[in-house]
Amino acid sequence: MTVRVTLKEDSKHIRREYKTHARAIGALGRWFNNNKGIAILYQPGQEPVVYKGKHELPAQKVKSRTNFYRTKAWRELRLSVLLTSDGRCKICGSSSEKGAMLHIDHIKPRSLYPELALEKSNLQVLCEDCNIAKSNKDS
């Protein structure tokens, strides 16, 4: 969907388009920081909404979820699984000497079993190809 926005300041009219409502609201917030004007937001199938200031914008959810794969706990665990493995993909047996990119896979997917995310017994070494094939099945 496309969210259209018209920004009006004095006689200037700026039209912009955004892919999502959240992006449009974020952009309007930044625009209100630097401009005094009104913003009109058009969403498909809805009445246009007029905002006269940043305080009128709907509250944005803050993205506070940290990236799991960048956490120290995960990196340490991942390394220890790699070091104690035989360095081969559990499915096809490919190894990094043969040019395979090895990944550490959650046997039970993290999306369904978040409590097993840092459980060593739930981890296995897969090559990139097998991991992608498996994650397509998991989700």
Q: Which parts of this chain interact with Zn ion (CB under 5 A)?
A: 89, 91-92, 94, 127, 130
Determine contact, residues 15/6, Cβ cutoff 8 Å: yes
- In whole angstroms, how close is the CB of 136 to Zn ion at the nearest point? 14
> Which of 100, 89, 87, 94 has its CA nearest to residue 126?
89
Nearer to Zn ion, 43 or 95 (CB): 95
| 104 versus 127: smaller Cβ distance to Zn ion | 127
C-alpha Rg value of the chain to the nearest Å = 24
* CA–CA gap between residue 21 and residue 3 (Å, rounded): 6
Residue type at position 57: L
- Rounded to a whole number of angstroms, the minimum distance from the CB of residue 125 to Zn ion is 9
Least distance from Zn ion to the Cβ atom of residue 137, Å: 14
Of 94 and 124, the one with the shorter C-beta distance to Zn ion is 94
